[in-house]
Amino acid sequence: MPEARVIPLRPDEDPPPPTQEPAPSWEEQLAGGLEFLRRRLTGEYDTDEFGFDPDLTDHVLLPFLRPWFERWFRVETQGLENVPDTGGALVVANHSGTVPVDALMATVALHDEHPASRRLRLLGADLVFQFPFVGALARKMGTTLACNEDAERLLSSGELVGVFPEGFKGVGKPFSERYTLQRFGRGGFVSAALRTGVPIVPCAIVGAEEIYPMLGNARTAARLLGLPYFPITPTFPLLGPLGAVPLPSKWFIAFGEPIETASYGAAAADDPMVVFNLTDQVRETIQHSLYRLLLQRRSVFS
Amino acid sequence: MPPAVVLVTGVSRWLGGALAAELASDPAIDRVIGVDTVPPAPAVLRRLGRTEFVRADIRSPSIAKVIESASVDTVVHMNISSSPAAGGRASMKELNVIGTMQLLAACQRSSSVQRLVLKSTSAVYGASPRDPAVSTETMQARRVPSGGFAKDSLDIEGYVRAFARRRPDVGIAVLRFTNLIGPRIDSLLASFLRMPVVPTALGYDARVQLLHEDDAVAVLHQATTGDFTGTVNVGAAGTVLLSQAIRRLGRVALPVPEAAIGSVGRLTRRAGVHWSPEQMRFLNFGRVVDTRVLREEFGYHPAYSTAEALADYARTLPPVVRPELVDDAAATARAVLGQVAGGVSALRSVVGDRHRPAPAVPGLRAVRDA
């Protein structure tokens, strides 16, 4: 039997040049990359007291997330005008999707699509910071611990803070309970907004529920790994690492009208009635916009 | 009212010696008495000027005699050991805890003591994933440090608070210092970062807030001669990440898995760098303190920011990875890139001319492939 031979399909044509982009563009890009590497090697970049590393975020983390935002989930944003251009504000959103991808996409949305390119400073559970790599990377992206001290410090220095009051109850809820909001913590986020007098921007995220539909929870595995839940999805852990690829659902991120808190005064933060009422108001606003977006959506994947 | 007789414990170390020298050069102060268990090095001794050195152990009641006979009115307690360098952990704890108890007992008995300055540490805030990013003076560690320097410091502050209740007439200033660094001080972090290869915790990157040695001396001087009472965080403006500090100093970071940190700690101890695993774990999460009280109530603005203090320390430290080396490499890579870019555009002009007139028609290709 003769040996297999590679026969070129188009022997009369030369191989195309390695890149089709105009030369200065990729050259500049590579030069920029080199400059970035030089900065990283010599440590000549700034980080803030929360561990936020804007240089790394802009040059590595956001470029990594952008294709997911634009191509994979095809995120559509609504109501960006409700997020102030300057000054502190608290973005409160629903949490879902087994893995908190929604937080990352909200960060990209506000950075890339908001006219003022706002940076969303997320608040994360202490569990996030316990894990190696995850915790360090989260801090470099601008995340800090979800506690009143940190939230108030960020808000009073004029940062846009993102919080998911449902926490693990929201992100780890079974697929059958999709788009029903869980309990909104103890209202700590409202008291932080009251104390600093910043507006609360309710935010509804649709699409994240379908990326890893959580059918079951392997409690024993979760307990062994020290996790709040161990997801079983149609593809995970059945397909191994392949099951970690999120389903390409179509996403909507809608920012609602800001709820101002300054008129209550800082003392209202210690009035549980005001805090509970505001918490409920925010929760209902988000639930209603979720229903509205779900009606608008034609199907899960388009 | 400036103090008449100041007693400084731990005068044989760099910071204690520097403070004593500073106080001794102040003509408003009558006497400066330095106490330590070991005599100061000749270099320190020369600087001390008119400071009277008393070789005494603060763990023994003899310290009471020193305070009584000299009628000391201001005590600066800085003889607190941060690492089990000499004699191990047991003797470190004894010096820290028993030493402080003896010193405070002597102060309580003495009628002349009017003021106590404690050099404490921001380690009392702990370092865990559950702690807020920035600590103010009113915060406490969410997870109380279970051992070592932080535990000792918490105990010491507790004894000082008890002393304050028993002697309400004594003005007490508790200074919680962040990590000190500078060209001359031999602090824990300085010797840690002096190693050419610096072990770090794999997967963690601590936020580090520093204070320049000159600022530390100035704050101690102001606390000794001024009238601030209460607790104040003392740290420079700004922070750096540990990885960033290592890179700026031209060191090589060696990320070590958490399980192996203990054995690496033993290894560095053999190399003469006393860095306990406990402090290494502190550097997992880092610690940053709020310095509003320092600036507004205490009234001191550190001359060096964290980055500037680090840069000043870097002056005295020959880097392992020279920044010029990185610059050279980057320049070389850029030159190569330019040549490649030139080559590619030349190639494209050659290839493109031949290529462009006959673009492949998709339909045609399908026929040929078949």
Please state the length of chain A: 302
**Shortest CA gap B82–chain A (Å):** 24
CB contact under 8 A, B207 and A44: no
User: Which chain B residue shows the shortest CA-CA distance from A151?
Assistant: B132
Which pairing describes strands B134-135 and B171-177: parallel, antiparallel, or unpaired?
A: unpaired
Cβ contact, residue pair B134, A50, below 8 Å = yes
Q: Where are the domains of chain B?
A: 5-321, 324-369
- Residues 120-179 of chain A with CB under 8 A from chain B are 126-133, 135-136, 139-140, 144-145, 147, 149-150, 153
Whole-angstrom Cα distance, residue B18 to residue B16?
5
Name the residue type at position A135: G
Along the 370 residues of chain B, how does pLDDT read in single tens digits?
789 999 999 999 899 999 999 999 999 999 999 999 888 888 788 888 899 999 988 888 889 999 999 999 999 999 888 777 667 778 888 888 999 999 999 999 999 999 999 999 999 998 888 899 999 999 988 888 777 888 899 999 999 999 999 999 999 999 999 999 999 998 888 888 988 898 888 999 999 999 999 999 999 999 999 999 999 999 999 999 999 999 999 999 999 888 887 787 777 777 777 666 667 767 788 899 999 999 999 999 999 999 999 999 999 988 887 777 888 888 888 888 788 877 877 777 766 555 444 444 444 444 444 3
Mean pLDDT lowest for which of A28-42, A65-79, A250-264?
A28-42
Amino acid at B252: V
Classify the phi-psi angles of B148: left when phi > 0, otherwise alpha if psi is within -120 to 50, otherwise beta. Answer: left
Report which residue type is found at B230: G
CA dihedral A215, A216, A217, A218 (to 10 degrees): -130
Beta-strand runs (E) in B142-193: 171-177, 179-181
The model's pLDDT over A245-286, given as tens digits with 9 standing for 90+, comes to: 999 999 999 999 999 999 999 999 999 999 999 999 999 999
Radius of gyration of chain B (CA): 28
CATH number for A51-211+246-296: choose from 3.40.50.620, 3.40.1160.10, 3.40.1130.10, 3.75.10.10: 3.40.1130.10
pLDDT number for residue B363: 43
Instruction: Look at residue A21 in the predicted model and tell me its pLDDT.
Output: 42
Report how far apart, in Å, the C-alpha atoms of B263 and of each of A219, A286, B188 are. Answer: 35, 52, 19
User: Mind listing the pLDDT tens digit for each residue in A119-173?
Assistant: 999 999 999 998 999 999 999 999 999 999 999 999 999 999 999 999 999 999 9
C-alpha distance from A184 to closest chain B C-alpha (Å): 20
What global pTM score does this model have?
Answer: 0.87
Q: What is the CA radius of gyration of chain A?
A: 22
> Where in chain A are the domains?
51-211+246-296
Contact A17 B347 (CB under 8 A): yes
With tokens 């800085």, the residue in question is B78
- Chain A residues with CB-CB distance to B245 below 8 A: 43
Distance CA A23, CA B344 (A): 8
Average pLDDT, integer, range A92-103 = 94
Of B327, B334, B354, which has the smallest distance from its Cβ to A14's Cβ?
Answer: B354
Chain A contacts in chain B segment 278-337 (CB below 8 A): 285-286, 288, 321, 323, 326-327, 330, 333-334, 337
Measure CB to CB from residue B134 to each of A10, A49, A127 and give the nearest one: A49
Residue that is written with structure tokens 């306990």 in the block: B276
> Is cis: bond before A237, omega within 30 of 0?
yes
Look at residue B337 and give its three-state secondary structure.
helix
Q: How far is B142 from chain A (nearest CA, A)?
A: 12
CB contacts, 8 Å: A152 with chain B: none
Please state which CATH number belongs to domain B5-321.
3.40.50.720
